[in-house]
């Protein structure tokens, strides 16, 4: 075995574990197992389930399902279509943020842009709002944030236009942060053509020029978020294929490989995969929650995936940074490809 490095447990504020409702794609046990295999010790699950998590009752059902399955720490984001404001106070202590979809994506769970300001007024500003907002809706986001200063995280920024919008908002002092996914950092529209459905996601893959712009402005990127969005192979081969690709098990190796190529520093990597998400989503950090990573080269392989969907758009790629061991609060929970703890031993957080 080659050189080993120790990193703090990674934190991903943006995953779709599909439980309840679409557990043929993923469930809390397989999703959190994939998280550990990828070096994540805390993840936050999105609300676009088959029945969107827009009521306290649905949230409670989801948390109950998670409670006896998860093997890492899991928090939840609440959902809204702009018609559930009565639920906000009831759930605020059980969730970590509010997710709003302003563009079409998996789940048909999109708001009318006029509603954005109403939602901002209704949501208690103590926990962040997360936006799926591609550049066509940036004006309305600007307007809203000038009026209501709730901390806002722009998910999966994919283009020069979107990142420029975030940079302008930051310059103006608006309470904004943003995330970029590994697929937008390592794949472009040319891969989309080549890989077809396997590289079909929202936002779509952009040009080399967009990708270069994001790498050049890494300082403006707060979080690298996987946007782990598993769909089965059969679904991806269907017509039309659903949007989304898995990412929990490939994000760290891709980023460590980029570090080796001089594309970012170790500190930048740790900030975006641990320190910043902890700060933005108020995760209490434990010094004895760590991961041990082997820096030998290996090949990303579908067969080794713990995610239920069993594939990756990066399969076949040679990378460094295989996670060997994960320790949560001093206990070894994952080693040599295997989860060592029983389902339900992870913690539900808020
Ligand atoms: C996500 C999914 O499948 O739930 N799909 C995607 O392409 N990213 C939804 C989302 O994050 O927009
Ligand atoms: Zn999205
Ligand atoms: Zn997503």
Mean pLDDT along residues 277-306 = 98
Task: Please answer whether residues 45 and 278 qualify as being in contact, where contact means their C-beta atoms are separated by less than 8 angstroms.
Answer: no
Mean pLDDT along residues 304-317 = 98
Q: Is residue 107 predicted with pLDDT exceeding 90? A: no
* Spacing, Cα 170 to ligand 1 middle (Å): 25
Task: Please answer whether residues 325 and 332 qualify as being in contact, where contact means their C-beta atoms are separated by less than 8 angstroms.
Answer: yes
CA distance linking residue 8 with residue 276, whole number of Å = 12
Atom of ligand 1 nearest to the CA of 231: 3
CATH T-level assignment (fold) for domain 4-339: TIM Barrel (3.20.20)
- The finding on whether 227 has its CB within 6 A of some atom of ligand 1 is yes
pLDDT of residue 1: 55
pLDDT of residue 111: 87
CA distance linking residue 41 with residue 38, whole number of Å = 9
What ligand is nearest to the CA atom of residue 243?
A: 1
Whose alpha carbon is nearest atom 5 of ligand 1? 244
Provide, for the chain, the percentages of residues in helix, strand and coil under a 3-state DSSP scheme, each rounded to the nearest 5. Answer: 35, 20, 45
Domain boundaries, the chain: 4-339
Task: Please enumerate, as own/partner, the contacts of 238-241 that have beta carbons within 8 Å and a separation of 24 or more.
Answer: 241/196, 241/197, 241/200
Task: Please answer whether residues 305 and 30 qualify as being in contact, where contact means their C-beta atoms are separated by less than 8 angstroms.
Answer: no
pLDDT of residue 228: 99
* Spacing, Cα 46 to ligand 3 middle (Å): 7
* Spacing, Cα 99 to ligand 1 middle (Å): 12
Reference 245, options 184, 296, 289, 334; nearest CA is 184
Tokens of 88: 């906000």
Mean pLDDT along residues 313-317 = 98
* Spacing, Cα 170 to ligand 2 middle (Å): 21
**What's the sign of the alpha-carbon dihedral 34, 222, 180, 94?**
positive
Task: Please enumerate, as own/partner, the contacts of 299-305 that have beta carbons within 8 Å and a separation of 24 or more.
Answer: 300/250, 300/253, 304/249, 304/337, 305/34, 305/37, 305/246, 305/249
pLDDT of residue 114: 84
Atom of ligand 1 nearest to the CA of 16: 4
Report every protein residue that has its C-beta within 5 angstroms of ion ligand 2: 105, 132
pLDDT of residue 116: 96
Q: Provide the percentage of residues in the chain whose pLDDT is more than 70.
A: 100
CA distance linking residue 181 with residue 312, whole number of Å = 14
- The finding on whether 229 has its CB within 6 A of some atom of ligand 1 is yes
Q: Is residue 215 predicted with pLDDT exceeding 70? A: yes
For a ligand 1 pocket test, name from 48, 100, 199 the mutation site with the most ligand atoms within 8 angstroms of its C-beta: 48
- The finding on whether 244 has its CB within 6 A of some atom of ligand 1 is yes
For a ligand 1 pocket test, name from 13, 15, 16, 179 the mutation site with the most ligand atoms within 8 angstroms of its C-beta: 16
pLDDT of residue 105: 85
* Spacing, Cα 202 to ligand 1 middle (Å): 6
- The finding on whether 289 has its CB within 6 A of some atom of ligand 1 is no
Whose alpha carbon is nearest atom 9 of ligand 1? 106
* Spacing, Cα 313 to ligand 1 middle (Å): 15
> Which residue has 């310059």 as its token pair?
171
Q: What torsion, rounded to 10 degrees, do the Cα atoms 225, 226, 230, 234 define?
A: 130
CA distance linking residue 192 with residue 335, whole number of Å = 34
User: If you count them, how many residues does the chain have?
Assistant: 350
| Peptide bond connecting 20 to the previous residue in cis, omega within 30 degrees of 0 | yes
* Spacing, Cα 229 to ligand 2 middle (Å): 9
- For the full predicted model, state whether its pTM sits above 0.75: yes
Q: What is the pLDDT of residues 112-165, one digit of tens each?
A: 888 999 999 999 999 999 999 998 899 999 999 999 999 999 999 999 999 999
């Amino acid at each position: 075995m080659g050189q080993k490095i120790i990193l703090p447990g990674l934190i991903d504020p943006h995953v779709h574990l599909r439980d309840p409702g679409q557990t043929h794609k993923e469930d809390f046990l397989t999703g959190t197992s994939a998280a550990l295999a990828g070096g994540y010790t805390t993840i936050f699950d999105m609300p676009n389930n088959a029945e969107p998590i827009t009521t306290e009752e649905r949230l409670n059902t989801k948390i109950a399902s998670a409670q006896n399955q998860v093997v890492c720490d899991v928090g939840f984001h609440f959902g809204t279509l702009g018609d559930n404001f009565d639920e906000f106070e009831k759930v605020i202590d059980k969730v970590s943020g509010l997710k709003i979809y302003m563009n079409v994506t998996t789940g048909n769970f999109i708001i009318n842009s006029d509603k954005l300001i109403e939602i901002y007024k209704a949501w208690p500003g103590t926990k962040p709002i997360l936006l799926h907002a591609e550049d066509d809706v940036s004006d309305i986001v600007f307007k809203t944030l000038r009026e209501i200063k709730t901390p806002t995280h722009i998910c999966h920024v994919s283009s020069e236009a979107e990142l420029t919008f975030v940079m302008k908002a930051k310059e103006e002092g608006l309470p904004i942060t943003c995330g970029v996914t590994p697929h937008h950092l390592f794949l472009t529209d040319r891969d989309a053509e080549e890989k077809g459905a396997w590289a079909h996601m929202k936002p779509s893959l952009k040009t080399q020029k967009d990708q270069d712009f994001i790498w050049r402005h890494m300082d403006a990127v707060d979080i690298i978020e996987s946007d782990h969005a598993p769909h089965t192979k059969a679904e991806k081969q269907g017509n039309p294929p659903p949007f989304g690709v898995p990412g929990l098990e490939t994000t760290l190796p891709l980023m460590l490989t980029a570090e080796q190529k001089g594309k970012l520093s170790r500190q930048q990597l740790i900030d975006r995969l641990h320190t910043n998400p902890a700060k933005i989503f108020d995760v209490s950090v434990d010094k004895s929650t760590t991961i041990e990573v082997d820096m030998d080269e290996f090949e990303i392989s579908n067969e080794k995936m713990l995610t239920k969907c069993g594939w990756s758009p990066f399969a076949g790629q040679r990378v460094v940074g295989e996670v060997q061991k994960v320790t949560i609060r001093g206990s070894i929970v994952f080693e040599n490809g295997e989860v060592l703890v029983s389902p339900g031993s992870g913690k539900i957080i808020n």
